[in-house]
Structure 1
């Protein structure tokens, strides 16, 4: 019964969240701020990621992550 409630809440929460390029860039900016990167380096990261959105598919990006050492 608790498991069913948890799964229902999880599915409902996922349905309300929308993943998009701005969300991805937001995560990158938050991570850069947490690591105390300066503004110049953060801008370079955001610009490089933004350009990648036009040339890399979601599957290619996922494959790059799964194939990385991270």
Structure 2
């Protein structure tokens, strides 16, 4: 956070809402004058998606079992 004594330079006078920004190797968009949102995406190959979909029944069964244990 900036304090009142910190110096800074305005290099872009206006930034649009949800505009993609790269700063210090971080991708984000602005949600407001206070909040920034992470803009990184998880990209999976078709092979990985096939494994996830193939094993989905196993995941679903374990998830259902955990739900029963909690209640």
TM-score between the two structures when normalised by the length of structure 2: 0.27
Which structure features the higher share of helix residues? Answer: 1
Specify the structure having the higher radius of gyration (Cα): 2
